[in-house]
Amino acid sequence: MTICSALPVLSLLETRVLAVLAEKQYTVPDTYPLTLNTLVTGCNQRTSRDPIMNASQVEIQIAIDNLKHMSLVIESSGGRAARFAHNLKPVLQIPIQSAALMTTLMLRGPQTAGELRINSERLHKFADISSVESFLAELAERTAGALVMELPRQPGSRENRWMHLLSGTSGIEEYKMMMTQTADPVIAIDEIAVLKADMARLSSEVSALRKIIAKLCTELDITIDD
């Protein structure tokens, strides 16, 4: 597999900035292109993001400048604040369906075809999983270089996950290590403590109920065999 060599390897923050711009074009079209403040909020969003970031305005501005040099981001100066738009589809020469998948992978990390279909719905509605798989295959087999790759199946999983390659292949070794780990479930120590606490609480409630029942039986002159 030949990875796309048209662009340098992007940092995680650069891919986040690019993906947020691509996402917000569809989810909040009235405020697109985005101001720097809005872009900072989108990059540090706590939902629909993996990993969750806490990037500063300065860090995001540096990422924007780098993306502008690669023609992936375009700056406009309308109004009182500069605004930024993505240029993902023309630079990578991919259709809207593939751009939606790339955006979702950059925002949420590796995902299965089924997860991608659900998570990219606001950007593009795929008819079925087969359609998603077809576009993923095209992205993986591009003559200009692969933009995605299929990862080894994790223990206990029924589907393989896909990852984008704009940030290189740094995630591949992590998945290979996971493949060698046992799939047997392990109960953490804190989980055991929670179970013990629940058992103690239930035991206390049962004892209290027994006392109430015994009192009622005495008052009503009812005998209950043990």
State how far the Cα of 105 lies from the Cα of 120, in Å rounded to an integer.
Answer: 9
pLDDT of residue 105: 98
pLDDT of residue 175: 47
Co-location of 46 and 143 in the same domain: yes
141 found inside a domain: yes
State how far the Cα of 94 lies from the Cα of 140, in Å rounded to an integer.
Answer: 12
Co-location of 203 and 117 in the same domain: no
Token representation of residue 52: 């969750």
Co-location of 66 and 176 in the same domain: yes
Co-location of 83 and 158 in the same domain: yes
2 found inside a domain: no
Which of 164, 180, 196 is the C-terminal boundary of a domain?
Answer: 180
Q: What is the pTM of this model?
A: 0.74
CB 82 within 8 A of CB 73: no
Short-list 167, 150, 166, CA closest to 111: 150
Query: How crowded is residue 64: how many other Cβ atoms within 10 Å of its Cβ?
Result: 22
Co-location of 42 and 106 in the same domain: yes
- What are the strands, taking DSSP E only, across 9-165? 34-35, 73-76, 83-86, 111-112, 148-150, 161-164
Co-location of 168 and 206 in the same domain: no
State how far the Cα of 104 lies from the Cα of 106, in Å rounded to an integer.
Answer: 5
Q: What is the CATH number of the domain that holds 173?
A: 1.10.10.10
Co-location of 63 and 111 in the same domain: yes
pLDDT digits (tens, 9 = 90+) for 35-66: 999 999 999 999 999 999 999 999 999 999 99
7 found inside a domain: no
Co-location of 31 and 52 in the same domain: yes
Co-location of 44 and 153 in the same domain: yes
**H or E stretch at 79:** none
Residue pLDDT tens, the chain, 226 long = 666 666 779 999 999 999 999 999 999 999 999 999 999 999 999 999 999 999 999 999 999 999 999 999 999 976 788 999 999 999 999 999 999 999 999 999 999 999 999 999 999 999 999 999 999 999 999 998 999 999 988 788 789 999 999 998 765 555 455 445 434 444 444 445 555 555 766 776 777 778 888 888 887 877 766 5
109 found inside a domain: yes
Co-location of 208 and 141 in the same domain: no
Token representation of residue 159: 């589907």
Short-list 123, 151, 135, CA closest to 48: 123
SS3 162: strand
Query: How crowded is residue 22: how many other Cβ atoms within 10 Å of its Cβ?
Result: 24
101 found inside a domain: yes
Q: What percent of the chain has pLDDT over 90?
A: 64
Q: How many domains does the chain have?
A: 2
Find the domain containing 64 and state its range: 12-180
113 found inside a domain: yes
220 found inside a domain: yes
State how far the Cα of 53 lies from the Cα of 11, in Å rounded to an integer.
Answer: 13
pLDDT of residue 153: 83
State how far the Cα of 108 lies from the Cα of 91, in Å rounded to an integer.
Answer: 22
Co-location of 204 and 150 in the same domain: no
pLDDT of residue 78: 66
94 found inside a domain: yes
The number of angstroms, rounded, from the C-alpha of 154 to the middle of its chain's C-alpha atoms is: 17
Co-location of 189 and 170 in the same domain: no
